[in-house]
Amino acid sequence: MSDWRRYDSHLIPAFHERFEQRWGAGTAPFLDPEAHEQPLPRAQWINPATGAALAVVPVWTADERQQRSFGVFYLPPAGDIWVLRPGFTGYLEPSDGDTEHLVTLRNDAFRKAVGHAKEFLFGTQ
- The pLDDT of residue 17 is 95
Extended beta strands in 5-120, E state: 5-6, 43-47, 52-59, 67-75, 82-84, 91-92
- The pLDDT of residue 97 is 65
- The pLDDT of residue 37 is 67
- The pLDDT of residue 124 is 83
With a cut of 70, list the residues of the chain below it in pLDDT. Answer: 1, 36-38, 96-99, 125
Please state whether the peptide bond connecting residue 39 to the residue before it is cis, i.e. omega within 30 degrees of 0. no
CA-based radius of gyration for the chain: 15
- The pLDDT of residue 83 is 94
- The pLDDT of residue 81 is 96
- The pLDDT of residue 29 is 87
For residue 17, give the amino acid letter: E
